[in-house]
Structure 1
Amino acid sequence: MFRHLPNSRLLPIGKHGAFNSDDIVNNYFFDSINLNGILSVFKPSLRITNPFVYNLHTKLWSAYCKSHPISFGSEGAQRNASKRHILSVLGKIGHGGTLDPMAQGIVVVGLGSGTKKLGTLLQGPKVQMFEMLTSIVLYGNHEIGRRLQDVVRKFIGHNILQVPPKYSLFISYRPRFSALRVNGTRACDLMRRGIEIPDLDARPVTINSISIVNVDPPFITLSVDCMGGTYIRSLVRDISAELGTFGMLTFLERTRIGPFHIQDSIRDLSIFEHDLEAVRKISEQGALLLDEYIYSRQHTNVTI
């Protein structure tokens, strides 16, 4: 037995002739809001990419429930909604490449069918700006690592000018502080627990260009245009070796990935909780932008 309610489909009546929010959660499939597209979102530092992205999904679900108060009852019912119900309404969510937890910058988010396009960004070009501190080496090239040496050397400023042209395709040893898994656990998590791990394998990476942003000894700020798989901590170590010194990463910001630029990224995340229509429009525009980018690179024989 069913009854109609405004702005909803047929709702099942409960066991005793009346319905409640649990009946709706367990038996009712809500109308999909058809979010399909791509978004460029700014991730602050000290946030892990996966939880950051899935929190956006939670915000979208909250926005949906607010816009359908009759269809979806109490806050308790909203919290108890199964993953199946949420996915049936919002569709999938994913991202186009993990950003270092200590870093800030662009995370490209896919909604619905937009998640199928994210793979094109994983190995594609990215621009990252980073600051390195020379004359200090820390275990794993990470500032929260264990100090091995603290060697103060005279900084030779002009040497940095000789570094950028040397890098195009080169072999890089991946840092121990990375998202790569060792026996099923991320290397960075093992390092933070104080568990020793062996050096990770080296592999070739492509650096399209490196430009000098600022030199303020002992700090050097660089911007690198690189392909997927480039670890900036490893690059810091290699550049420091070229300078005859030691170094560590002190700041990292992803400023571009594919056609998406940091100045166009969403910073005010409240839009996900309060304006589904705006999210829809922005994601559709993002999907078109990515399609045009892929098409242009395919027809100019450039690797995406």
Structure 2
Amino acid sequence: MSAPKRVKRAISGWVVLNKPYDMTSTQAVGKVRWLFSAAKAGHAGTLDPLATGILPIALGEATKAVPQVQDGTKVYRFAIAWGSATTTDDTEGSVIATSEVRPDRDALEAVLPQFTGTIMQRPPIFSALKIDGERAYDLARAGEQVDLPPREIDVDAIRLIEHDSTQSILEVSCGKGTYVRSLARDIAEVLGTRGHVSMLHRAAVGPFTDADAVTIEQLEALEGEARDGLLKPVWSGFGDLPEVRLDALQANSVRHGNNVLLTGAGAPVTLDECWASFKGEVLATGWVEFGQFRPKRVFN
């Protein structure tokens, strides 16, 4: 006899997963969704299979907060292996160019300021970006010419952690859309050599960091309420986003998608983005204009 079909649960919250090496983000979401028997799941930012680290997985109503987490700052620790460039700009690809040049610490630190602030970056050809409806990595694997134009990205800071003649380990804090593989490639080229990413770990995404992370093994070792206890609340995905607390009448109005006038001492008059709550539960995301909270996305 076949095993009984799992009943999907309307469970909501965040699993801050420390994604293991050689697992796709889609596989990770599928595994977590199965473990929690969740009716709905998604993730806040793809992480390469060869990368480890923070993959925020949203269950249920938390999927509505994915845009806020995706737009948050990312922190990556990565290693540049010196002397060779690859088709994928990491260890998965074939070597396409080599160099005998090995930069010293001073030379490397001297060029890092060129890669901070708002800069133009050419994405790797093996990326999920679309060209005429096709993924760039699918075209590249098929042997087709892939030409991705440079894009504007924001890099808050980049610093050197360790360095020797074979590789260097760096940490970068950056905005949405930054490709660390491209950073490694471009840093090497500016130094007159070649390089590719040999290690990549995402240490933070928006409000979530390594300190919040759990592993697949930890999730598998628990059951029921103990496993559910590892979920972070939906509102934890909002980070520093201002909270607007509503009373019962206001909350009922917002649940129906209506604007509400905020009252009381200190009530905000204008906020570009915020979230509204009632008794600690998320009601909606939205903004405040002329003293009114205007819901954009309502949570159940």
TM bracket (short chain): 0.7 to 0.9
Structure 1 residue 185: Cα displacement: 4.2
Q: Deviations over 1:141-190 (max 9, x none)?
A: 23332322222124333111112222210000010121223454433344
* Larger RCO of the pair (alpha carbons < 8 Å, separation 6+): 1
Q: Deviations over 1:87-128 (max 9, x none)?
A: xxx321111010011101110011110110011122320000
Gap change, CA 1:146 and 1:194, over 3 Å in 2: farther
5+ residue gaps, structure 1: 1-19, 62-89
1:133 aligns with 2:81: yes
What is the number of equivalent residue pairs in this alignment? 248
1:91 aligns with 2:39: yes
Structure 1 residue 54: Cα displacement: 1.0
- Counterpart of 1:282 in 2: which secondary structure? coil
Match of 2:126 among 174, 177, 188: 177
Letter in structure 2 aligned against 1:177: F
The equivalences for 1:261-280 within 5 A come to: 261-269=209-217, 271=219, 274-280=222-228
Quote the residue 1:249 is aligned against: 197
Quote the residue 1:107 is aligned against: 55
Alignment partners' CA distance in 1, 2:83 and 2:2: 62
Normalising to structure 1: TM-score of the pair? Answer: 0.72
Structure 1 residue 273: Cα displacement: 7.2
Quote the residue 1:287 is aligned against: 234
Structure 1 residue 204: Cα displacement: 0.1
Q: Deviations over 1:197-252 (max 9, x none)?
A: 32212110000000111011131110000001000111112211221211111110
Quote the residue 1:15 is aligned against: none
More helix by share: 1
Letter in structure 1 aligned against 2:48: D
- Answer whether contact 1:142 1:249 (CA < 8 A) is retained: yes
Match of 1:50 among 9, 26, 34: 26
Structure 1 residue 33: Cα displacement: 4.2
- Answer whether contact 2:69 2:207 (CA < 8 A) is retained: no
Match of 2:12 among 33, 36, 42: 36
Alignment partners' CA distance in 2, 1:217 and 1:91: 50
- Answer whether contact 2:71 2:206 (CA < 8 A) is retained: no
- Counterpart of 2:187 in 1: which secondary structure? helix
Alignment partners' CA distance in 2, 1:226 and 1:154: 26
Alignment partners' CA distance in 2, 1:211 and 1:121: 24
The equivalences for 1:193-272 within 5 A come to: 193-269=141-217, 271=219
Gap change, CA 1:232 and 1:292, over 3 Å in 2: closer
Alignment partners' CA distance in 2, 1:292 and 1:149: 43
Normalising to structure 2: TM-score of the pair? Answer: 0.73
Letter in structure 2 aligned against 1:294: L
- Answer whether contact 1:136 1:151 (CA < 8 A) is retained: yes
- Counterpart of 2:172 in 1: which secondary structure? strand
Gap change, CA 1:302 and 1:255, over 3 Å in 2: farther
Alignment partners' CA distance in 2, 1:165 and 1:107: 28
Greater CA radius of gyration, 1 or 2? 1
Percent identity of equivalent pairs: 28
Match of 1:150 among 98, 113, 116: 98
Alignment partners' CA distance in 1, 2:92 and 2:57: 29
Letter in structure 2 aligned against 1:262: D
- Answer whether contact 2:102 2:166 (CA < 8 A) is retained: no
Letter in structure 2 aligned against 1:150: T
